Chains A and B, each alone.
Chain A
Amino acid sequence: MKVVDNLLGKVRPAFEKGGKLEKFYPVYDALETFAFVPDHTTKRGAHIRDSIDMKRTMFLVIVALIPALLFGIYNTGYQHYLALQEEGTFLDMILFGLWKTLPLVIVSYGVGLGVEFIFCIIKGHSINEGFLVSGMLIPLIMPMDVPLWMVAVATAFAVLIAKEVFGGTGMNILNVALTARAFLFFAYPTKMSGNKVWVSTDGGTAIDGFTGETLLSQAIENGATFYDTTGAYYASVSDSFMASFLGFIPGSIGETSTLAILIGAAILLWTGVASWRIMLSALIGGAVMGLIFNIIGPQISPDNLYLQVPWWHQLVMGGFMFGIVFMATDPVSAAQTFKGKVIYGFLIGILGILIRVVNPAYPEGIMLAILFMNVMAPTIDHYVVQGNINKRLKRLKTA
């Protein structure tokens, strides 16, 4: 640690005022504050401060994402070998997964941090930690075969348009990672939806019967009669539920395993980093909507089998879980009041399932639901806060 300190001390003068690299001070500052919590002391107000800072908070979210990432890497390989019906050891699958996934992670971080650094250098701001999480979320909500240049374009778009133009971390209205995904979804739909993108068949030919459909698109045709990547039908709904819960299904890299996501959720809730109000109310919202469809489905539209997918099965399909655990809980774009969070989460759950089922053109309803509620969150908060204001005004009148 002394070595690092000395090294930083040596290069520091070049970045300070009057130095050759003066303009790049934010980059130096980012590196220095990464390695050392600075020696800044309290100047006014409370003399002691909580140990928590933005880096710790963001780091904990990354830790929570690790189970989903690891499983995603494995599942990418697993689905690949399944589709080709080739023998693959566990290690083979991991290696294949890494080969597919790592470049996405690197591009996402490289481009995102690059844009962020450039902005901070131009503006002279210190570099914020926000992108550390966004940079990990973006690859996890991509299909593994998405071209790297698309990830780069989407990431740059998201960081610029969703974040920096609003003033940077803490000021954005939309969730940055979801904006990147929505951008690709609408700009390059062929690479982001359909049956071809969810399982990588690189370096081989898929067997006959291979489908590569996600459960979401299967449900449009067949309701809860699901089959796996090879086209083999699951024996029962509880079998497909289990496969989906554990994550052995095609889908975006990080979204398939509900179990891995729940481990992440446990970390987020245990450390208090994410709001349990949002997660729980979104879960309830999704369940309620699924239940409503289950009840009214057979009456109003017996042919639409999607309506009859059991509500508990809906919850483990697609990106619903990943969305409500990691995206909806982004504190900047979510509602900020306790009551607001409950309403916000509940509506995300309702809308997520509603869009998915009612408009099959948008199988990934949760993405749109969260983005829509991001926009609505300030309005929800406005009315919650207004309630508090009215209470105060009423007290004034009766006093």
Chain B
Amino acid sequence: MSKAIKIKKGADIKLIGEADKTISAANRSTVFALKPDDFFGSIPKLSVKEGAEVKAGSPLFFDKARPRVKFTSPVSGEVVEILRGAKRKILEVKVLADAETRYESFTPWTGGTDKEALINTMLDMGLWPFLKQRPYGVIANSEDTPRDIFISFYNSAPLAPEAAFVLKDEKENVQLALDALQLLTPGQVHIGVKKDDAFFDGFTGVQKHTIEGPHPAGNVGVLIHHVKPINKGEIVWTVNGMDLALIGKSLRAGQFKAERTVALVGSEVENPQFYTTMIGAKMDSICGGKLKGENNRIISGDALTGDAVSKDGHLGFYSSQITVLPEGDHKKFFLTEGWLAPGFSSFSLSKAYPSWLNPGKKYRLDTNLNGEERAFVVTGELEKVFPFDIYPMQLIKSIMVNDIDAMEKLGIYEVLPEDFALCEFACTSKVNIQHVVENGLADMRKEFES
């Protein structure tokens, strides 16, 4: 049954630098990279050595625990560097791209009921990592049968691109991907769309739900929670709505087409707009020459949940947005900019700063922590931006003391770090809540999945 979901708890943080609705091709990146850190819960095992020749769709590494899950190269070329960090942890696998992309060919899937063939194609081509599993937010296990599959087409995060705009010429590919997903679950494929967004009316075989309200209304976790929450022992899968075009296109062609449209946004971007590029492209190829200052934070993803990357870093596997914000690495005098200032250019969800008097104003927020980390003192502020029937403070504290039993009872199966992003933003005590939740999920998984 289709639901109309209305969220009240939450907040839209209005940042300067929304993308103009034009799409241009980004400069072609010469080097592409896959980053194992993008895949929470997977342990990378290399399939290639430096110097190896790869095609688009050739595996670069795979998951040690589930070797069928492959992470494949977005382009053809030569593996030029395997960047390692402390304890020889693999940070990036870099491929120097050919001028013309050569594709590995796989069996295309354009419909039908052969589930095994579909799964094999997706695993081999490197499309499988787009399927995520709840609980834990890790890559789905192809041996599981998910209760349902959930997709949100409502990107409510700050400056997030509008799905209907990015996918406007991709309707057929999205439909093909949705057909494929239907084959993977005996349950339903639920899609969440922004209220009054007519773009998604025509899709067949899915259960459509409308959502309205402030961020995190568009999070797929909120959709699941309000449609059919996850109980202990249940598994559901999720896919980013923005990734469906890429999945559909690749399945149809039988080739890994790693192309995507990303929004380059944020106050430090000269002319924020959309660019077509590919997974793993070097940031410089997209942002080069388009940023205002020098001292910026470049984020692959949105300002609340993305990953900081350097100019020489690479676009993340799941990112359809690059946010550029000013770094906040300067001291703020308490009377002029700090805690005792009137603070007309400061933004706060509380009413301790005057920003609530001017709800339409857009802000140039920097990355300063705006305070120091403290023990939890203020109560009630997290609940205001957390649209789940879960007690956030109590759950966070149970994770901090590593009480597995309490975490389970308090509903950790239903959430991911991203659902706590606004709580983390709002926290007066500056606790890194998303990191806490991530640790909690990792602990739970260790407890039950090994």
Among A42-61, those with CB < 8 Å from B are 42-57, 59-60
Q: Which of A39, A169, A341, A389 contacts B409 (CB 8 A)?
A: A389
Known contacts: A51-B347, A52-B428. The answer to whether A331 contacts B303 by CB under 8 A is: no
Counting chain B residues whose Cβ lies within 8 A of the other chain, the interface size class is: 35 or more
Cα distance A45–B92 when bound, in Å?
A: 20
> Is B86 interfacial (CB-CB < 8 Å)?
no
> Is B378 interfacial (CB-CB < 8 Å)?
yes
For the complex formed, measure the closest distance between the CB of A84 and the CB atoms of chain B, giving whole angstroms.
41
Contact of B371 with A53 in the complex, beta carbons under 8 Å: yes
Cα distance A47–B417 when bound, in Å?
A: 14
Q: Which of B332, B380, B411 contacts A36 (CB 8 A)?
A: B332
Name the B residues within 8 Å of A39 (CB-CB). 328-331, 368
Binds B, one of A204-212, A288-296, A390-398: A390-398
Please classify the interface of chain A as helix (H, G, I), strand (E, B), loop, or mixed, using the class held by over half of its residues.
Answer: loop
Contact of A388 with B391 in the complex, beta carbons under 8 Å: yes
> Is B338 interfacial (CB-CB < 8 Å)?
yes
> Is B389 interfacial (CB-CB < 8 Å)?
yes
Known contacts: A50-B426, A271-B350. The answer to whether A171 contacts B368 by CB under 8 A is: no
Known contacts: A41-B328, A388-B391. The answer to whether A48 contacts B339 by CB under 8 A is: no
Contact of A53 with B428 in the complex, beta carbons under 8 Å: yes
Name the A residues within 8 Å of B234 (CB-CB). 399
Q: Which residue of B lies closest to A43 (CB)?
A: B432
For the complex formed, measure the closest distance between the CB of A56 and the CB atoms of chain B, giving whole angstroms.
4
Name the A residues within 8 Å of B297 (CB-CB). 41, 47
Contact of B425 with A48 in the complex, beta carbons under 8 Å: yes
How many residue pairs between the two chains, A and B, have CB atoms under 8 Å in the bound complex?
A: 212
Q: Which of A49, A130, A338 contacts B425 (CB 8 A)?
A: A49
> Is A195 interfacial (CB-CB < 8 Å)?
no
Name the B residues within 8 Å of A336 (CB-CB). 379-380, 393-394
Known contacts: A37-B331, A49-B369, A388-B389. The answer to whether A171 contacts B375 by CB under 8 A is: yes
Contact of A48 with B427 in the complex, beta carbons under 8 Å: no
Q: Which of B334, B339, B350 contacts A50 (CB 8 A)?
A: B350
Known contacts: A36-B331, A37-B331. The answer to whether A45 contacts B391 by CB under 8 A is: no
> Is A170 interfacial (CB-CB < 8 Å)?
yes
Among B425-443, those with CB < 8 Å from A are 425-430, 432-435
Q: Which residue of B lies closest to A386 (CB)?
A: B409
Known contacts: A44-B434, A271-B350. The answer to whether A130 contacts B377 by CB under 8 A is: yes
Cα distance A398–B267 when bound, in Å?
A: 49
For the complex formed, measure the closest distance between the CB of B340 and the CB atoms of chain A, giving whole angstroms.
6
Interface CB pairs A-B, < 8 A, 19? A5-B333, A36-B338, A37-B371, A38-B331, A39-B330, A39-B331, A41-B297, A42-B368, A45-B435, A47-B367, A50-B425, A50-B426, A50-B428, A53-B428, A56-B353, A270-B351, A337-B391, A341-B380, A385-B410
Q: Which residue numbers of B lie inside 8 Å of A, CB to CB?
A: 13, 15, 158, 229, 231-234, 297, 299, 303-306, 308, 323, 325, 327-340, 343, 346-353, 355, 365-372, 374-380, 383, 389-391, 393-394, 409-411, 417, 421-422, 424-430, 432-435
